[in-house]
Amino acid sequence: MKKIVLPLALLAAAPAHAATGPFFSLHNTNFIVLIAFLLFLVVLVYFNVPAMLGKLLDKRAEDIQSELDEARRIREEAQTLLASYERKQRDVQDQADRIVAHARQEAELAAEEAKAKLAESIKRRLAAAESQIASAEAAAVKEVRDTAATVAIAAAREVVAEQMDAAKAGQMIDASISEVGAKLH
């Protein structure tokens, strides 16, 4: 870097050595540059450029301030809106939690009701089955009794028929007739 700075400094100093002679001469470049600069400043003041620049800078400052105020207002509105949405989100979440809790309660009640109905249905079916079993048992007992009576009558008939002779049969008929007569009168 030092190698570059030294040649640049020597080149920059060369025009300063070009000015020779008296300073207030038109042949002196420094004097010409000074006059041009002063003339430039006079033109700027004559056309009121500093005031125009001041007004432009003031207008720009006002624009920036109004944009800052607008941004601040928008930020406050956004914060208010965000807070509102957060409240609404909490309210919706609370409502969703209540709905879920209510649905769980209803599901539990429905399950209990279904269990009760199932138990009642099982009891009815068991009662119906017991009734059918009792009916079938009674029918079977009756059928067994009827069959036993029929068999007993048939057996008694055979035994009586084998042991019975005409004299005993007559005595039995007479005893039966007298017994029926006694019971009827």
Check residue 182 and give its pLDDT: 82
Per the CB < 8 A criterion, the answer to whether 64 and 55 are in contact is no
Portion of the chain with pLDDT greater than 70, in percent:
88
What's the Cα-to-Cα distance from 130 to each of 3, 40, 53, 115, 172, rounded to whole Å? 120, 125, 112, 22, 48
Look at residue 185 and give its three-state secondary structure: coil
Residue 9 has pLDDT above 50, yes or no: no
Let me know: does 22 contact 16? Beta carbons within 8 Å. Answer: no
pTM of the model: 0.39
Identify whether the C-beta of residue 31 lies closer than 8 Å to the C-beta of residue 25.
yes
